[in-house]
Amino acid sequence: MPDHFEPPQLAALGRDWIAAWNSRDLERVLALYAEDAEMTSDRIPALGFGESGTVRGKDALRAYWGTALAKLPGLHFELIELFVSPDSVVVFYRNERGKRICEYLRLDAAGKIRQGSANHAVE
């Protein structure tokens, strides 16, 4: 299994991630993630999914994102730019409310997202 990924492969994952969210198909989004993936966001506590701001595992991700999608019927992401490293991609995008967000996505050896972090602009 690779210990690093080529920039075009990482960029494709970033574009697939945007397309999956824009499809509003939660299972399509989750298919990009490892079973033991973890996600960190300041939005997690606000939706009642733990004070730490981190959820772990696909079942927890499904519950969190399912709740978020239900509250955001107009959800849409517009890709601004992608940044890559040997094992991660940062997806810089604008959401349906015009907010700019960077999503850091680190991959496991199989090319699935094992760690994500939503980073929101300070306003």
Name 56's bridge partners: 38
Residue among 66, 77, 55 nearest 27 (CA): 66
Q: Which fold has domain 7-120?
A: Nuclear Transport Factor 2; Chain: A, (3.10.450)
Above 70 in pLDDT, residue 110? yes
Note the pLDDT of residue 1: 44
14's tokens: 């970033």
Note the pLDDT of residue 2: 62
Name 117's bridge partners: 40, 104
Residue range 4-13, pLDDT digits in tens: 899 999 999 9
Run of H or E including 28: helix 26-30
- Average pLDDT score, the chain: 94
**pTM flag (> 0.95):** no
